[in-house]
Structure 1
Amino acid sequence: MIQFLLENTNIEAFEPMPTPAEIKTALPLTERAATTVATARQTLTAILDGTDRRLFAVVGPCSIHDPEAGLDYARKLKALADEVAETIVLVMRVYFEKPRTSVGWKGFINDPFLDDSFRIDVGMKRARAFLLAVNELGLPAATEALDPIGPQYYGDLVSWTAIGARTVESQTHREMASGLSTPVGFKNSTDGSLEVAINAILSASHRHAFLGIDESGRTAIVRTKGNRYGHLVLRGGGGRPNYDSVSVSLAEQALTKARLPANIVIDCSHANSWKKPEYQPLVLKDIVHQIREGNGSIVGFMVESFLEAGNQPLRPREALKYGCSITDPCVDWATTETMIRSAHEVLQHVLPERKRNGSVS
């Protein structure tokens, strides 16, 4: 009888991975962290509903590669968050997964040692430990959902989720978003298209059923309720920014046509700043100006920021500059403080009287 090898012909190995339940048992949710997450989610949904007049801001490194530097940054951000809490709800950007156009470092969970050893088991434990530490400070965390299994391991420690420009058209990510327990921001696609993101918001608001895993690591049929807190994130694309008032107005019209709430977050980085960190303060100034002039749809903004300005190539860990990004370039901490404080100073006189365009129904 002729034998054929028909399965796993390009698989090198299957290695055991701890289940979500095992990692959560080793790193359990604390009361302090749970309070941080629950309070932040409630606040963010209130902002999207229009019952809380403040803005929210997702601020932090492009990606986490050094937990020590990340926690140094988190402590500074927590102090700033307390200072501007009257007007801006700060949420730390804690991104562990990086989508790649071709190849490259895919993030802390995938390769925590930065050496192509791909110890995903270690990365997942360390990612959860980092999120616990951030939430223990009383600072909520935001992340990008890339791997559909990941939320089972750390979703209880996330307050806001992004679906990125490269995955916004993916059915897998729309289905996943429909079951997430956080508000979800859908970025416009890399070519600048709003239609893809709006379709994603609509899709994620409905019920879905798909294959996933449960906390015990067993394959399961995941049945979702639908997520009513999807919203649009403008990040530029197709060779131009889209944070200006005309682009925002067009986005409002597109959301209204789709019978969606006019809730818009603006990413100060990526194509909106041509990936030049020095332009991010200019984008934020424009956002604040639009709100001061009567805009009622902008509910938040995003800033890529770290301890040191710019970025650096991936090298052996001991050769890396402390507190400097190894992915997209960031503004430094001093610039971050100036940006947020300046926005706060203007917005504290504007937001109390601000009229919102609409709310989640």
Structure 2
Amino acid sequence: MSNKINRTIHNSRKTISNIIYGNSNKLIVIVGPCSIHSYKGISKYTTKLQNIVHKYKNLHICVRAYFEKPRTITGWKGLIYDPDINTDYNINKGITKALKILKMITAKKLSIATEFLNTILSNYIKHYITIGTIGARNCESQIHRELASALNIPIGFKNNTYGEITGAINSLIACNKNNNHIYIDAKGAIRRQLNTYNKNCCLILRGGHNITNYKKPHITKTLNILKSNNLKQGLIIDASHDNSKKNPQNQIRNIKCLAAQLQTNPKICGVMIESYIYKGRQNISNHINPYQSITDECLDFKNTKLLLSLLNKAVSNRKHFK
């Protein structure tokens, strides 16, 4: 990685941190497919995004580049695990393919967001990431808290799959304190990284089983709980997953609701949208479309542009934190 690209990523992380703590009035927007399965597909998507990102001066847009998929039971586990989507599990090929995609997106001067799932694999991709997430199934996992503490990257912890926020908030508190992180170095030896902490962590609300938490009462209650724990970070709201009940069109409704709140609630510091070139999803087959999701259903790019414009306008109308 060149020094210029390294500086760009470092500066993007600082921008995200400033937004999380209210030192910038911009809004973080993490947007992209549920998961990446095709270089060709994500290359076209990010080119389309690159061509319009300059229009949204009030947004800090990050490409959702997810290479690992946590499964509730079974299913395709992501490009790193199974790059050929044939259950051969050629992980070395998957890592190489993921790095190629990350380099391509970075070359387009776009920030990147990903979920850190496997703590070993994080070492391969972390250098390209502007903001990471810890998913709903791992939000109170000790090893993921230790990983988040050791990463010099802003990290969002999602509430758990039942909509409960306590575990994720405890993780924010834990990451503020010294932790010891165990990892494997380049020579394959086990190492220990001492006294690591990460103050650039925040909470992501993504709903839960039969629960949504993107509306004003839920957000107000959550912010009061954060304040009572002396946590000054803002909130990121996931418009998809259980907040959309897995219906991608509901993301439009959710973003409209959040846009209305943005104008009077500067503590909403970010949103997440699952979006791709074509709407919906497809089953895995011998003829996979590179431009449509093979995991969760996504919004199409036309509607994505409308939501970005709506959010950009809403942020321009809101009062600054300070």
For the aligned pair, the TM-score class normalised by the smaller chain equals over 0.9
Consecutive unaligned residues in structure 1, runs of 5 or more = 1-28, 357-361
Q: Does 1:78 align with 2:50?
A: yes
Would the aligned equivalents of 1:32 and 1:135 in 2 still touch at CA under 8 Å?
no
Would the aligned equivalents of 1:252 and 1:262 in 2 still touch at CA under 8 Å?
no
| Structure 1 equivalent of residue 280 of structure 2 | 310
1:35 maps to amino acid = R
Output aligned runs, 1:244-263, within 5 Å.
Answer: 244-263=215-234
Would the aligned equivalents of 1:145 and 1:163 in 2 still touch at CA under 8 Å?
yes
Question: Tell me, what secondary structure is at the counterpart of 1:242?
Answer: coil
1:323 maps to amino acid = Y
Q: Does 1:219 align with 2:190?
A: yes
Would the aligned equivalents of 2:132 and 2:153 in 1 still touch at CA under 8 Å?
yes
| Structure 1 equivalent of residue 72 of structure 2 | 101
Instruction: Single out whichever of 131-140 and 215-224 deviates more from structure 2.
Output: 215-224
Return the alpha-carbon distance in structure 1 between the equivalents of residues 188 and 65 of structure 2: 24
Instruction: Single out whichever of 275-284 and 210-219 deviates more from structure 2.
Output: 210-219
| Structure 2 equivalent of residue 336 of structure 1 | 304
Output aligned runs, 1:104-253, within 5 Å.
Answer: 104-253=75-224
Deviation, 1:216, is 3.0
Instruction: Single out whichever of 221-230 and 234-243 deviates more from structure 2.
Output: 221-230
Question: Tell me, what secondary structure is at the counterpart of 1:338?
Answer: helix
1:302 maps to amino acid = M
Would the aligned equivalents of 1:236 and 1:271 in 2 still touch at CA under 8 Å?
yes
Deviation, 1:239, is 0.8
Deviation, 1:76, is 1.2
Return the alpha-carbon distance in structure 1 between the equivalents of residues 48 and 99 of structure 2: 20
| Structure 1 equivalent of residue 291 of structure 2 | 323
Question: Tell me, what secondary structure is at the counterpart of 1:277?
Answer: coil
Inter-CA distance 80–334: structure 2 relative to 1 (3 Å threshold): same
| Structure 1 equivalent of residue 31 of structure 2 | 59
Larger radius of gyration: 1
Return the alpha-carbon distance in structure 1 between the equivalents of residues 187 and 96 of structure 2: 16
Would the aligned equivalents of 1:36 and 1:136 in 2 still touch at CA under 8 Å?
no
Deviation, 1:336, is 0.3
Instruction: Give the TM-score of the pair, scaled to structure 2.
Output: 0.97
| Structure 2 equivalent of residue 354 of structure 1 | 320
Question: Tell me, what secondary structure is at the counterpart of 1:41?
Answer: helix
Would the aligned equivalents of 2:20 and 2:233 in 1 still touch at CA under 8 Å?
no
Deviation, 1:35, is 3.3
Return the alpha-carbon distance in structure 2 between the equivalents of residues 129 and 44 of structure 1: 24
Aligned residues: 322
Deviation, 1:204, is 1.7
Q: 2:251 aligns with which of 274, 280, 300?
A: 280
Return the alpha-carbon distance in structure 2 between the equivalents of residues 260 and 57 of structure 1: 22
Question: Tell me, what secondary structure is at the counterpart of 1:58?
Answer: strand
Would the aligned equivalents of 1:33 and 1:132 in 2 still touch at CA under 8 Å?
no
Return the alpha-carbon distance in structure 2 between the equivalents of residues 96 and 90 of structure 1: 19
Question: Tell me, what secondary structure is at the counterpart of 2:270?
Answer: strand
Return the alpha-carbon distance in structure 2 between the equivalents of residues 301 and 105 of structure 1: 26
Deviation, 1:321, is 2.0
Return the alpha-carbon distance in structure 1 between the equivalents of residues 192 and 23 of structure 2: 36
Would the aligned equivalents of 1:307 and 1:324 in 2 still touch at CA under 8 Å?
yes
Return the alpha-carbon distance in structure 2 between the equivalents of residues 137 and 200 of structure 1: 33
Deviation, 1:50, is 1.5
Consecutive unaligned residues in structure 2, runs of 5 or more = none
Would the aligned equivalents of 1:268 and 1:283 in 2 still touch at CA under 8 Å?
yes
Output aligned runs, 1:85-96, within 5 Å.
Answer: 86-96=57-67
Runs of 4+ aligned residues of structure 1 deviating over 3 Å after TM superposition are none
2:244 maps to amino acid = S
Would the aligned equivalents of 1:36 and 1:139 in 2 still touch at CA under 8 Å?
no
Would the aligned equivalents of 2:27 and 2:315 in 1 still touch at CA under 8 Å?
no
Return the alpha-carbon distance in structure 2 between the equivalents of residues 105 and 185 of structure 1: 24
Would the aligned equivalents of 2:182 and 2:191 in 1 still touch at CA under 8 Å?
yes
Would the aligned equivalents of 2:136 and 2:158 in 1 still touch at CA under 8 Å?
yes
Quick one: percent identity of the two aligned structures?
32
Deviation, 1:224, is 4.5
Instruction: Give the TM-score of the pair, scaled to structure 1.
Output: 0.87
Deviation, 1:296, is 2.5
Inter-CA distance 216–83: structure 2 relative to 1 (3 Å threshold): farther
Would the aligned equivalents of 2:281 and 2:293 in 1 still touch at CA under 8 Å?
yes
Give the alignment's Cα RMSD to 1 decimal: 1.3
Question: Tell me, what secondary structure is at the counterpart of 1:299?
Answer: strand
